[in-house]
Structure 1
Amino acid sequence: MSAAIWVLHGLGRAVPVLFATAGITFLLSAFAKQEPADILLGEAATPEAVAELNHELGRDRPLLVQFGSWIAQAVQGDLGTSWFTGIPVLTTITDRMPVSLSIAGLALVIAVVLGASAGIAAALLRDSWVDRLVTLAASTLATLPPFVVSIGLILLFGVALPFLPTGGYVPFERSPGGWLASIILPAIALSLEAAADIARQLRTALVRTYEENLVIGARLRGLSPARILFRHALPHASGPALAALGIQVPRLIGGAIIAEQIFSLPGLGLMAYDGAMQGDQPVVLGAVMVTVVVVLISTLIVDLLILALNPAARTTPARTTPAQATPARTTPATERSSL
């Protein structure tokens, strides 16, 4: 299956997910206890004033009509206007998106670098104290929820060693150093679980790959350990780690919402939370849908990476999970004989 067909399959799966997510979010917000008219007009508002405002907001129309109208506008790039601020939702999302992407992006980088380094070290030093330490650390970190790690980091760097900010956000264009300092703690809190998963998957796959005839033959030909690792072992063993990364990407993006709450960062998560507390339906819908789109795009990119490294996956357009992933490609008999 070519990459283009794979992308089409991914897009075909994304449309129902987006539609279902929009429908569920719309229904939840529609049946929420918060009544925007009561908040906007205050407790002294008359029933006539509440009815008039609901008419202006379109809340007196049938739910199916309201949902259809929102979908029609969203397809054209119009996510509506906040009922409370009067600011277009897309404008607010554009302002807040860099915060969420900064946290999730840095967490992803930390997870890949830390997880890959630990997994490679554990595999190359199999059964050593390094291997046992990595295994213990990965098992421990995998059980710690990001919000627990966040609180621990705040206590450590906000109280015991107060040299990093534990709240607020500095845009990159204003101060790159301040930007990094403002997102490093939430990024670390989000990255540890993903790093642990990547390390475990990569360690297991590399150990198996080093027992394959492909690597044994490379050793017999006198290739350097670095070339064996990066040219032969890693390309064949990275499939499970990439699959684990694909599962972790939505968690990183979703976890950024919690991190924004804990570290008081003005991202999409805080925007969605404030909107939900006020019953601001357009804000909630816009934030959720944009987040889902980012998750779907990230998942598609990971799928394409798996496809490039494991051509056998082209016959199966479904997502590969760590348990299903092939740890190492079996070398054909003709290739083995040539080694």
Structure 2
Amino acid sequence: MSAVVAPARPAPAGPAAVSRRVSAWARRVLRVVVTTATVFLITSFGTYALGALSKTNPAAAVLGETATPADIARMNHQFGLDRPLLTQYASWLGHAFTGDLGTSYFTSIPVSASIRQALPVDLAITGLAALFAVLIGGTAGIAAALNGGGRLDRSVTAVCSVLSTIPGFVVGIVLIVMFSATLRILPAGGYVSLTTDPVQWFRCMLMPSFALSLTLAAHIARQLRTSLVATLRENYIVGATVRGLSRRRVLLRHALRNALGPTLGILAVGVPALLSGSVPTERIFNLPGVALLTLQSSERHDVPVIQGTLLVTVATVLVCNLVLGALLARFTPQARR
């Protein structure tokens, strides 16, 4: 009788293989860091140049119409506006890395202090809007894909087509009329910090976040529905179903994971859209966020505040894209390659 030979186990990875994997990971991280830093430098320079090259003279705006040329020249020297553009940019960026974004020309309040006070409002609106968009769009997209061609699928597609064309501020006005003016169950505007009253904070954030989320939710639902329908027709999904795996396991462990790539791409593009779309939303609901601060500063040509808020917005968008890129690499195997 011949002896039964056990299958050979794969040899453990040696130091050379581990070193190659670590080296490949380090190269990927370095490439991401270099790309992000390059984008940040280009956008930050464009942000500063827009303010520095504008036709409005901040010194003249601060001093008023009675200012003489000598007064304007003295104020320009005090602001450092008589130096070359690259010198101004290098000094501004160097101070920005230490948290010093300059001082408002009109209020003399440090820009960083104004942004620290306003930024939590934008982060709350954007975060809740993204959460609502994922929950609403994800649920609708999965339901439509599982009922492909049916009434639910057609209904979801029709509703998403309508929602994707309605601006967030229009939805906000409708919500104010319904839940504030008519039902009187939610505040029409204002802001309370999370640490002061969490319940009232959520009540103040609920309508603006929901209004801001619907457009992104519609895009997520349509993209997820399209990707999931195509994935469910793949051979490996059919094979998993034939082997007796439950429908829930096939959907969550196999189909949904491979269909998430394009949807995360939509989310990566949608986060900057949420930040930009918060300007009219904050004005309608009277929320003291960075978007409203930027709008008010642009109306009075307060250049340091405009430059500081745009720089913080760019940094926030880059961080969000890095996080979503990491999620994309985590959930979609093809993104790792």
TM range (shorter): 0.7 to 0.9
More deviation in 245-254 or 49-58? 49-58
User: Which gives a bigger RCO, structure 1 or 2 (Cα 8 Å, sep 6+)?
Assistant: 1
For 2:174, the equivalent position in structure 1 comes to 152
Structure 1 equivalent of residue 65 of structure 2: 43
d(CA) in 1 for partners of 2:268, 2:157: 21
Residues 189-204 of structure 1: matches in 2 within 5 Å? 189-204=211-226
Q: 1:155 to 1:103 in 2, by over 3 A?
A: same
- Aligned runs of 1:218-257 on 2, under 5 Å? 218-257=240-279
Kindly provide the amino acid, as one letter, of the partner of residue 146 in structure 1: G
Once residues 25 and 140 of structure 2 are traced to their aligned partners in structure 1, the CA distance between those partners, rounded to angstroms, is 31
Residue type matched to 2:226 in 1?
T
In the aligned structure 1, how far is the partner of 2:55 from the partner of 2:177?
36
Q: Deviations over 1:17-72 (max 9, x none)?
A: 22222222223222434433334333333333332222211122232322222122
Supply the distance in 2 between the matched residues of 1:112 and 1:272 (Cα, whole angstroms). 28
Range with greater deviation from structure 2 (102-111 or 152-161): 152-161
CA RMSD of aligned residues (A): 2.0
For the structure 1 residues 7 and 185, does the alpha-carbon distance in structure 2 shift closer, same or farther, using more than 3 Å as the test? farther
Report the alpha carbon displacement of residue 4 of structure 1 after superposing the two structures with TM. Answer: 4.8
**Residue identity in the other structure for 1:252:** L
Task: Find the counterpart in structure 2 of residue 133 from structure 1.
Answer: 155
Report whether the alignment pairs 1:81 with 2:99: no
Q: 1:138-192, CA deviations, whole angstroms, 9 ceiling, x for partnerless residues?
A: 1111112223323333333343433322221110111111111111122112111
Aligned residue pairs: how many? 315
Q: Which moved more, 1:246-255 or 1:57-66?
A: 57-66
Which residue matches 2:32? 10
1:267 aligned onto 2:289:
yes
**Is the Cα–Cα contact under 8 Å of residues 154 and 166 in structure 1 kept in the other structure?**
yes
Select the residue among 75, 92, 114 that pairs with 1:70.
92
Q: Is the 8 A contact 2:260 2:332 kept in 1?
A: no
1:56 is the counterpart of 2:82: no
Q: How far apart, in 1, do the equivalents of 2:145 and 2:73 lie?
A: 67
Residue 112 of structure 1 deviates from its aligned partner by: 0.3
Note if contact 1:34-1:277 (Cα within 8 Å) is conserved in structure 2: no
The residue number in structure 2 matching 1:25 is: 47
Unaligned stretches of 5+ in structure 2?
Answer: 1-20
**Larger C-alpha radius of gyration, 1 or 2?**
2
Structure 1 unaligned residues grouped into runs of 5+? 316-339
**How far apart in 2 are the matches of 1:110 and 1:310?**
23
Greater Cα shift, 136-145 or 207-216: 207-216
The residue identity in structure 2 corresponding to 1:230 is: L
Identical pairs, percent: 46
Structure 1 residue 122, shift from structure 2 partner:
0.7
TM-score scaled by length of structure 2: 0.86
Q: Is the 8 A contact 1:3 1:304 kept in 2?
A: no
